[in-house]
Amino acid sequence: VLEGVSFDLRRADPGAIIEVAVASDVGTISSRIGEVVTRYNALLDTIEEVTAFGGETGPSGVLIGDATIRALQSRVRDALGVGTAETSALGISSTETGRLEFESGTFVTRLTDEPEATAAAVTGENGLITRLRAQVQAYSGSEGLITARTEGLDARIDDIAEARLDLEERLVRVERRLVDQFSALDALVAQLNTTGSFLTQQLDNLPGFRLGDSRR
């Protein structure tokens, strides 16, 4: 009957006149915009945690210096239009720490006074939610950038694991070779000591000759 509106008829009442009022649920819409802001701030907390620099003594984040996570932060921020007049008119502002704040009163006033313009700014073809959804889809999902980055990191981990095994095998071979060389050297030194002792004994047995004796 009405485009975009469906009815769930639970019982038949022929001839009865039913009045249906259609109105914007301002409170719910405002709450959902506030939830977007809350989740954005949570995203920033996570990004800061995984990219933190721990200095000389503290632990650093596992994705410190990772370009993908920084690009995600930048593109989501741009999608939300942080710092623009359009976003400010919706009651969304940025703090000194980069977090967002949402003033529901400003949003409700704008939605009440300019419902069509507000709807376009939020869910229109180039609206806030539309832009944000596009970025989320680009990064998430089975073919998203995060998945590709994860697969790349997993491949590097596998390569590192194989390289460690190869290194361990080379170290074992080097250790074995050094042990063999040391054993051979030790046997040679023992043989030379035996030969030296034999020569010393033979020289000591020569008439009129003693090693260490100054007389010749």
DSSP assignment letter at 216: -
Give the pLDDT score at 84.
87
* pLDDT band for position 39 (cuts 50, 70, 90): very high
d(CA 109, CA 91): 10
* Per-residue model confidence as pLDDT tens digits over 87-119: 899 999 988 888 999 999 999 999 889 988 998
* Per-residue model confidence as pLDDT tens digits over 124-171: 888 899 998 888 888 887 777 888 878 888 888 899 999 999 999 999
Give the pLDDT score at 17.
86
Give the pLDDT score at 139.
83
Give the pLDDT score at 38.
94
Output the furthest CA–CA distance in the chain (Å, rounded): 147
- Is the predicted pLDDT of residue 174 greater than 90, yes or no? yes
Give the pLDDT score at 21.
77
- 30 by Cβ neighbours in 10 Å (0-12 / 13-18 / 19+) ranks as buried
Q: What tokens does 108 get?
A: 């409700």
Give the pLDDT score at 164.
92
Using the Cα atoms of residue 193, residue 197, residue 198 and residue 203 in order, give the sign of their dihedral.
positive
- Is the predicted pLDDT of residue 188 greater than 80, yes or no? yes
Give the pLDDT score at 209.
57
* pLDDT band for position 205 (cuts 50, 70, 90): confident
DSSP assignment letter at 82: T
- Tally of CB atoms within 10 A around 177: 10
Q: What is the mean pLDDT of the chain?
A: 85
Using the Cα atoms of residue 196, residue 201, residue 205 and residue 209 in order, give the sign of their dihedral.
positive
Q: How far from 50 is each of 74, 134, 152, CA to CA, in Å?
A: 16, 24, 17
